[in-house]
Chain A
Amino acid sequence: MKKYIKDLIVKEVEFPHELYVLLKLTDEEPLPATMPGQFVEVKVEGSPKTFLRRPISINYVDREKNELWLLIKKVGEGTHRLAELKVGDRLNLVFPLGNGFSPVQKAGERVLLVGGGVGVAPLLDYGKYLKDNGAEPVFLLGARSKTDLLELDLFGAIAPVHVTTEDGTEGEKGFVTQHSLLNKEHFDRISVCGPKPMMVSVARYAKKAGTPCEVSLENMMACGLGACLCCVEKTVKGNVCVCKEGPVFDINDLTWEI
């Protein structure tokens, strides 16, 4: 898939919550082809501390409006800077990067999409893709609290949404792996994106249940292109680059203790 370096235009800026920003970017030309689960490397201007680009998942691509969305959690200086962008500003992106989630394998397959925190981001684009291509996605989204649940309405417009919060302010109380849905319904496969402990516990559940499962990793990256070998994850095939061979991996290819 051809990669580009482009200055996209900030078309809209939304704040779903004070900790998060949703950037809707556009371009004069039609946006390049991307796959759900791929990511971009964003250049953060005016912050010497933020020397490297920042990897951010593609949250959604709206082809009709020619928009590419990034859903970002403010954690350090780089992401705080990104949250200060204004409509009309330009943002330099290297994209699309990585392999993305698995394509639809058979018509009507039931795919459980599990997201935690800002890890829900790539699942919106993936859920839409699955729905549009004859699969049946179901979302299971976890967060610390009600205010950390993002884009619920958008997820709901695509497929059924189930929620857990650690403090019980929305949906079932607890972690995603404790949700009653998992005892009631059968899924053909599971895709997960979120904090590592959550992904490990979902992977453990999937392994036990014999359900194929893929996870999207967030290793620290420098180049994003498979050139520097900084972002490696240990796999059954040795150290491989998360930016190029991933970020999505089948749990059987990883060496996690599950």
Chain B
Amino acid sequence: MKNPVMTASGTFGYGVEFADFVNLEDIGGIIVKGTTLHPREGNDYPRMVEMASGMLNCVGLQNKGVDYFCKNIYPDIKDIKTNMIVNVSGSSLEDYAECAARINELENIPAIELNISCPNVKQGGMAFGVTTEGASAVVKAVREVYDKTLIVKLSPNVTSIADIALAVQDAGADAVSLINTLMGMVIDIEKRKPVLSIATGGMSGPAVKPVAVRCVWQVAKAVSIPVVGLGGIMTASDAIEFFLAGASAIEIGTANFIDPAVTVKVAQGINEWLDQHGCASVSEIVGQLNA
């Protein structure tokens, strides 16, 4: 990887939407929109509501399905010279495995990020990610058909995220990424109705960062595979917090909406911080909290 900064799924489209603002090849990795075996229309509007220092969304994995991705989107992104990673979702073990198998065929996709943590779809999604058994089963099913790098994205909406992380490590994951959004709800008091179409949504942005840092810290202590940290990162100093908590790479999501060029700014800021602190690379600070 060129640098430890990636983009979070669902917040950076397929990368090309941001090509006017950043040189995509200056980003360490681009994790594209959540992809499922079959096309999905997603949830009804309204799908987004703002809050202090963050937002909630219930997009619900709108996408045109993996076949459309392979035929119509992959050709446009395959020559972008960085790690193009596909975020894979499903509602059954078979769907996850079949979708992963199709992406396994794509030469220029070096990894997938398995989303077992989406709070916005009725069946599946997060259902797999909230029990050790469910998480383990889906990772095993995918591992059988997928032989490149397998990152598993974890939900913070659980009692012990470290236990889930251990389960996916044992099931064959090469890395874990966390956190996906935190389940939340906002009510319009005049209408006495939830603002979002499906009542609840996933919280993201700076408001969730302390939760994310805590999760990364707990998981990094528990597992031996690499941890990718995300949740509310807006600046290089936010990113450094995640490295110190034990992440060896990070993803940036919601911040792209505020500043479409934020990824390269954070990557640059990380280097400056490392220089100022006499560190040659991020690996020197990963998990290096003072006791």
Could you list which residues of chain A lie within 8 angstroms of chain B, going by C-beta atoms?
2-5, 43, 48-53, 94, 219-234, 238-239
Contacts and interface: CB of A to CB of B under 8 A. Distances in A.
Given A51-B205, A238-B41, A5 B21 contact: yes
B104 to A, nearest CB: 26
B20 interface: yes
B194 interface: no
Interface string B40-75: 011011111111111101010010000000000000
Contacts of A231: 45, 47-48
A220 B195 CA distance: 12
Contact of B53 (A48, A94, A223, A227): A48
Contacts of B13: 225-228
A51 B57 contact: no
Contact of A225 (B17, B54, B55, B59): B17
Interface string B75-117: 0000000000000000000000000000000000000000000
10 contacts: A51-B53, A220-B48, A223-B11, A225-B260, A227-B12, A227-B17, A228-B10, A228-B13, A229-B10, A229-B42
Given A3-B20, A51-B205, A219-B45, A229 B59 contact: yes
Contact of A226 (B17, B48, B52, B57): B17
Given A225-B13, A226-B17, A239-B41, A232 B257 contact: no
Nearest to B57: A230
Contacts of B45: 219, 231-234, 239
Interface string B1-30: 000000000111100011011000000000
A2 B260 CA distance: 14
A221 B59 CA distance: 12
